[in-house]
Amino acid sequence: MKSIQRGLCALAAVALLGIGAAGSAGAQQPFADVGKQPPITILINSSPWYAGFEKTVELYEKQTGNKVKLDATPYGGMLEKARNAVRGAKSSYDLINLDTQWTIEFYEGGFLVPYKEVDPAFDLPKEVLTYGESGYWNADKRFRSAQGGKLMAWSPNGNVLLYVYRDDLFKAAGLAPPKTWEDVLAACAKLQDPPKMYGSVMRGERGNGIRFDWMYFMLGKGAAVVRDPAGGDYTVTINSPQAKAALDLYLDVAKRCGPPNAGSLGQGDLIQLISTGKAAAGMVVSAAWNNFDDATKSAVVGKVQAVPIPRPADGKPAALLGNWNMAIPKNIPDAQRKAALAFSRWFLTAGAQRVYAEAGAIPVRDDTFRSDLAQNPKYRWMGAYLEMQKYASQELGYAEGAQVEQILGLRLNQALIGEMNSAKALNAAAKEIEELFKKNNRRTGGLTPLPE
């Protein structure tokens, strides 16, 4: 296959970068020699970056002779499959891929084996991004932290949102790349021409979509869901004046710049609107980038540029980590654990990550983003991605995270579609989240409700 041949050529390219030349002092080998291993099965989500993962696995099989079976599953079915696998007598998967919000359930439930229990010598390479230390679990603090915690998972993908825009349309309208949401609203005033063209689009669908996208506004305004979860203070602050200002700004952009069905837009809708030339800009996951330069899918090849997500004019830059976490179930034989770790070790090498990037996925090594790839126009999104990693953060990194997301995903969507005003939606969410923490004996409380 041509993709595999290109991947093998990456050996030479990596060596030229100085990160894989075997003869240089202190240099790393571009790929790991993991020896002969039994076949493994991986539960993986069928996401925008799946094709890149699949091609990289093909190279692993070709290089090592080891076999990997991929169970590519839609997002909606992933959690149930993972739960069933770890609770059975023997897991049918040797590696399971968990959305960052699901990890605590598996960490706290004791369903996974720490990587150092498989091999005490294993450590993540220092170049591998840890995405807010979400792969570590400190059982005493019941929090994801490398300090006092064990390595339970590594990230095969670390999404942040990118703000992508049509460079040709912006230049024709005399517009600079937006730095603030007020810049976005000004651009929309010039470019909005429904139904032919929408100025800017973002997710509004109930659930993870609206919760994740809105939190960029939330963080930019200096708001938070709870006061200090890492320190054990679960006072609910989601209905603060800052959070209301963030929701009002989100609603303003969604309604003035997007289509009438903003409340039902998902990631696939955004990709389609931008790829078909019906949206001038939008917030999309970094893993979606490959769609815009694919001539078989896109009418805007070479016309889309990427910048960090805009900040509120009176706020700060913000980025939210939406990574996946690859973990080893405890209920598999020792030989399968070692085979899963062998694949993990190979996948996180410089050579594998370069191939992964070239196959259209999002690499998880810092040095891949700083390599010569970043100078190639094909990877012109890398600069914005790496810039956002400087201030990116994890949210909902506690045992109740998935339930908090369900609450916010409903109430935020109700505000967007007009069933509630912003204050009422946030007050309702705050009350429900506080009750959730009380049931779990958290040290919690709340703010004075917002005027409705």
Given a contact cutoff of 8 angstroms between Cβ atoms, the answer to whether 184 and 253 are in contact is yes
Sequential DSSP letters for 108-156 = HTT-B--HHHH-TT----TTB--TTTTTEEBTTTTB--STT-EE-EEEE
Specify the pLDDT at position 17.
34
Given a contact cutoff of 8 angstroms between Cβ atoms, the answer to whether 235 and 444 are in contact is yes
Instruction: Give the tokens for residue 60.
Output: 């692993």
Given a contact cutoff of 8 angstroms between Cβ atoms, the answer to whether 116 and 90 are in contact is no
Q: Going by CATH, does the domain composed of 161-320+395-445 fall within 3.40.190.10?
A: yes
Given a contact cutoff of 8 angstroms between Cβ atoms, the answer to whether 274 and 265 are in contact is no
Given a contact cutoff of 8 angstroms between Cβ atoms, the answer to whether 368 and 354 are in contact is yes
Residues in the chain: 452
Mean pLDDT, each 10-residue run in order, the chain (452 residues): 41 35 44 96 94 97 98 95 97 96 93 98 96 93 91 95 98 98 98 97 96 98 95 96 98 98 96 98 93 95 98 97 96 98 98 95 94 94 93 90 95 98 98 97 97 97
Specify the pLDDT at position 48.
84
Distance separating alpha carbons of residues 324 and 75, to the nearest angstrom = 11
Cα–Cα nearest to 289, from 359, 220, 353? 359
Q: What angle do CA 327, 328, 333 make, to 5 degrees?
A: 175
Specify the pLDDT at position 28.
55
CATH 3.40.190.10 in the chain is located at 2-159+322-380, 161-320+395-445
* Cα–Cα distances in angstroms (integers) from residue 129 to residues 149, 213, 354, 363, in the given order: 17, 22, 14, 9
CATH of domain 2-159+322-380: 3.40.190.10
What single DSSP character describes residue 447?
P
Instruction: Give the tokens for residue 50.
Output: 């799946």
Given a contact cutoff of 8 angstroms between Cβ atoms, the answer to whether 225 and 396 are in contact is yes
- 205: Cβ contacts below 8 Å, ≥ 6 apart: 263, 264, 265, 266, 413
